[in-house]
Amino acid sequence: GAGVSQSPSNKVTEKGKDVELRCDPISGHTALYWYRQSLGQGLEFLIYFQGNSAPDKSGLPSDRFSAERTGGSVSTLTIQRTQQEDSAVYLCASSPAAGRYNEQFFGPGTRLTVL
């Protein structure tokens, strides 16, 4: 079946603008994760959704970052008033359920460049 998809694949924006990044998880997967990957760095956890539970937002770097997941499926990561340090690849992953043994299936990422 279809894997995790993300859009857009690339986004170039000017400093101070808001951006929205979209993630379509694998159908039926209840857990959804957002990560940020800066050049040459490991993945940095941002936020986690599991079913109807309140999301774990402990990884969001500032209040300019927010995310929502509508209907337990599609998720949108919003960055307000973008800064140059927000430039990175934003990866979304989903897994069949919460739990540390469940493999996370990753999307191709959105490369964000803030000028």
**40 vs 71 by CB, closer to another protein:** 40
CB of 10 to another protein, least distance (A): 10
**64 vs 111 by CB, closer to another protein:** 111
Amino acid (1-letter code) at residue 27: S
CB of 47 to another protein, least distance (A): 12
Cα 86 to Cα 65: distance, rounded to the nearest angstrom:
10
**38 vs 78 by CB, closer to another protein:** 38
User: Measured in whole angstroms, how far is the alpha carbon of residue 101 from the centre of its chain?
Assistant: 21
CB of 113 to another protein, least distance (A): 14
Query: Which residues, in sequence order, are bridge partners of residue 79?
Result: 19, 65
Strands 10-13 and 110-114: parallel
